[in-house]
Amino acid sequence: MPALQEPQPLLAVEDLHVTVGDHEVLRGIDLVIAEGETHVLLGPNGGGKTTLLNTIVGLPGYRVTQGSITFKGVDLDGLEIDERARLGIGVAFQRPPAVRGIKLRQLIEVAAGDGEHEELLADLIGELSLRKMIDRDVNMGFSGGEMKRSEMAQLIAQSPELTLFDEPESGVDLDNIAVVGRAMNRLLKSERVGKGTRAGLIVTHTGHILEYVNADIGHVLYDGKLACKGNPRDLIGEIGKHGYDKCVECAICQR
């Protein structure tokens, strides 16, 4: 009797080494995210969390020296940022750049792809309180909360299968965190007809966003390696008590 086939992972990162400038920031990362899963990446600042995200997105300056990233069975090596996006990878940047002359409305329409988007726009404007921002140059003079709401609107329009969130709660007040959290749930939990469920990878160093979003699996990225894996809330509890240094040895680690 043939063995049951494992479901193909959505994202598979294998033995990933990444150098930025002359510095090797990631030193052998293994990470598998299956359809429907939401993972959390914890870790101290400078530990390489954003580097991992940006490498998956395909930003220049992040050089893969060893290992691979596979998305839906496709090796991402050599694919441009836009090709990865069209393949189904979305990213909410921590500090997205302001683009003079491009309105938020345009970017939402572009992210949504071909077709009419009036209904979607009306929905997003209401859901994320975009009325005052929708016809402004994107991110130009946006507050922290406005910037995150703008990112969420673009991503909901883009509707990626895997969404990467870089510090979604940073620079956001409490009212806005709740709105951003709601949008993240919409991104992560909604079904895609015929395409299975969506997945996410959330980078956070405070963990506050987890009060609004349920995550399945937590990882601690420490000194360029995934040092720890477990229940996200337990991990945050441990880190709160003992700090990241003890993480590698902590009792709840499943690694």
The burial of 65, by beta-carbon neighbours within 10 Å (0-12 exposed, 13-18 middle, 19 or more buried), is given as exposed
Only one of the segments 64-72, 85-93, 124-132, 209-217 lies at the binding site for another protein (rule: CB under 8 A); that segment is 85-93
How many CB atoms are closer than 10 A to CB 89?
26
Regarding 244 and contact with another protein (CB under 8 A), the answer is: no
Point out which span in 79-87, 126-134, 189-197, 247-255 binds another protein (CB under 8 A): 79-87
What six digits make up the tokens of 126? 């209401």
74 belongs to the binding site for another protein (CB under 8 A): no
User: DSSP strand E in the chain: where?
Assistant: 11-20, 23-33, 38-42, 63-71, 74-75, 89-92, 162-166, 191-192, 196-197, 199-203, 217-222, 225-230
Count residues binding another protein (CB under 8 A).
Answer: 25
69 binds another protein (CB under 8 A): no
When asked if residue 111 is in the footprint of another protein (CB under 8 A), the reply is yes
**φ, ψ for residue 185 (rounded to 5)?**
-60, -40
Cβ at position 22, least distance to another protein in Å: 20
Give yes or no for residue 107 binding another protein (CB under 8 A). Answer: yes
Structure token pair of residue 199: 């997945």
Binding site for another protein (CB under 8 A): 57, 59-60, 80-82, 85-86, 90-91, 93, 96-97, 99-102, 106-107, 110-111, 113, 137, 154, 158
